[in-house]
């Protein structure tokens, strides 16, 4: 595997992760009633009081 393909793979993964977090932030900014209507998962607060998205099993 060449260095350029490794860098490309890392950059692609980074871009996908950033897009996912950007989408989550946009959804979290919606009113709770609207999030409930579209079926967005509930937000759970963990021990450090940082919000986490609860995923359906």
Higher pLDDT, 23 or 54: 23
Quick: pLDDT tens for 1-47.
688 899 999 999 999 999 999 988 888 888 888 888 888 776 555 54
Quick: pLDDT tens for 11-21.
999 999 999 99
Quote the tokens at residue 43.
């937000």
Q: Distance between CA 28 and CA 40 in Å, rounded?
A: 9
Quote the tokens at residue 56.
């359906």
pTM higher than the cut 0.85: no
Four-residue CA torsion sign, 32, 35, 41, 45: negative
């Amino acid at each position: 595997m060449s260095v350029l393909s490794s860098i490309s793979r890392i950059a692609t993964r980074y871009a996908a992760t950033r897009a996912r977090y950007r989408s989550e932030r946009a959804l979290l900014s919606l009113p709770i009633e609207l999030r409930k209507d579209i079926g967005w998962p509930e937000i759970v607060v963990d021990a450090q009081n940082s919000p986490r998205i609860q995923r359906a099993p």
